[in-house]
Amino acid sequence: MNFLTEDQAVWLDTVNRFMENEITREYIRARDMEREYPYEAYEKVAKAGWLRLLIPESAGGDGCGVLEYILMAEGLGRFGFDFAASIVVPTFTAMNIVHFGTEGQKAKYLAPFMEGKLRFSISISEPSAGSDAAATRTRARRDGDDYVIRGQKLWCSGAHARDVVIAMLVRTDPDAPKHKGLSVLLVPNTTSGLDIRKLPTLSRRSTGTTEIFIDDARVPVDQRLGAEGQGWEIVGSNLRLERAAISAAYVGNAQTVVNDAIRFARQREQFGHPIYDFQVIKHMLAEMQTQVDAARLLVYRAAELASRDMPCDREVAMAKLFASETLQSTSRMGMQILGGHSMLPEADMERYFREGMQCTIGGGTSQIQRSIIAKSMLASLN
C-alpha cells in the first residue's frame, strides 16, 4: 500500500531523479574520499529552490508541508546521509530564526539562506555536554552592546565551510538553574576569536563536523536569537523536525543499500550460479527490505503527526531509533553480501556502513531515543 498521494509520490521521484542525474553518486563518493564540502551540489539544491520549501510564505519561502520536506530529505539521502545533512542541518537553524528571530534577523538571514548564499550550523555539544546538552559551559558574558564568548564547542556540522553563521548554545547566566541560563547567539564563522577545526572522523567526511575553540569572541547583542535565557526552548523546539528529517535521509540511504546489494547479488556468480539464487542471500535481502519498509512507515507516521502539529515526541524518537539502526544493520549485511568488493570505495557500501555507524550517535543517540520512548510510555499510563 502506498500512503503517499500521487503528487507526493511524484515529488519523491523528482528528488530521486535529481540526485541520480544532477548530483550523482560519483560526486558524493568523490567528496567523501577527498573530505571536501559539497559546495557545487549545495548550490544546485539552492538553484532548484528547495532551500525555500519549509520557510513560510510570509517570510518569502514556499511554505510546503512537513511531509513534503521529509520526502525531500529521503531523496537527498539516497547516496549517503552526509550530503542530506548539508541541507537539513542548516534548515534546522533557519526554522529557529523563523520562529524566534526578530524582523531584522529574518530580513538579514532568511533570503540569503534560501538563495544558497548563506549556510547555518548548529553548535550545541561540548566535550562535557553531549546527550546532557543543558550542561553547556561555554560562557557568553554581557559587555555593553556585545556578548563576549569563551569556551569550547564540539560536533558542529559544517561550521568550517564558507559563508556560515553558527547558532551557538551558550550560558549567559551561570547562576540560573541548569536549563534556564542558556541562550542562542548567531555567530558568523569569520568572527575574530573563533578557532574552527574540522575533525578527521570515520564518517561525515564531506559536510564534516568540527570542534570550535572560542577565545573572547565578541558578538553584538542583537545577534541573540530570542530572549536571554530562552536557549533551551529554542534548541528543543525544532528537534522533532530535525530528527524526522534525518530519519528520512537514513531511509533513503538504506533503500540504496538494498538496491545495490540486489544488483550485485544478481551479477556475482559463484559455484555456477548468481549468488542471488542462494537462499541465505535471499533471506538477508528480504530482511533488509522489510527493515527499510518498516523504518519508512515510522518516518511517514512521525511526519504526518508533526504536519498536524500533534504531540509526537515518541513517534519521532521511534522513527529516529529504528531508521538509524536500520541503516546500520542493512549496510552491515550489504558489506557481507558484497564480500571483498564491499571494502572498495567504488562500491559505496563501505561509505554507507561508516555513515550507518555514525547515525545511531549523531542527532540523539539510540539510547536517548529509547529513554524518550520509555518516558512517554510511562506517562501514557497516568
Look at residue 1 and tell me whether its pLDDT is greater than 50: no
What secondary structure does DSSP assign to 152-180, as a single string? EEEEEETTTSSSEEEEEEEES-TTS-TTT
- Buried b or exposed e, range 138-153, using 16+ CB within 10 angstroms: bbbeeeeebbbbbbeb
Please give the C-alpha separations between residue 154 and each of 35, 125, 159, 194, 284, in angstroms, as whole numbers: 18, 5, 10, 13, 38
Q: What is the largest CA-CA distance in the chain?
A: 78
> For the segment 198-215, what is each residue's pLDDT rounded down to a tens digit?
999 999 999 999 999 999
The answer as to whether 154 is a domain residue is yes
**CATH code of the domain containing 176:** 2.40.110.10
The phi-psi region of residue 232 (left if phi > 0; otherwise alpha if psi is between -120 and 50; otherwise beta) is alpha
> For the segment 278-295, what is each residue's pLDDT rounded down to a tens digit?
999 999 999 999 999 999
State the number of CA atoms in the 13 A half-sphere of 303 facing the CB. 27
Radius of gyration of the chain (CA): 21
The answer as to whether 1 is a domain residue is no
Q: In degrees rounded to 5, what are phi and psi of residue 60? A: 95, 5
- pLDDT reported for residue 271: 94
Q: Select the more confidently predicted residue: 73 or 5.
A: 73
> Same domain for 251 and 377?
yes
Rounded to whole angstroms, the Cα distance separating 53 from 241 reads: 14
Look at residue 3 and tell me whether its pLDDT is greater than 80: no
The answer as to whether 16 is a domain residue is yes
> For the segment 323-351, what is each residue's pLDDT rounded down to a tens digit?
999 999 999 999 999 999 999 999 999 99
Q: In degrees rounded to 5, what are phi and psi of residue 203? A: -125, -170
Give the confidence band of 2 by pLDDT, cuts at 50, 70, 90.
Answer: low
- pLDDT reported for residue 239: 84
> Same domain for 324 and 363?
yes
Total domain count, the chain = 3
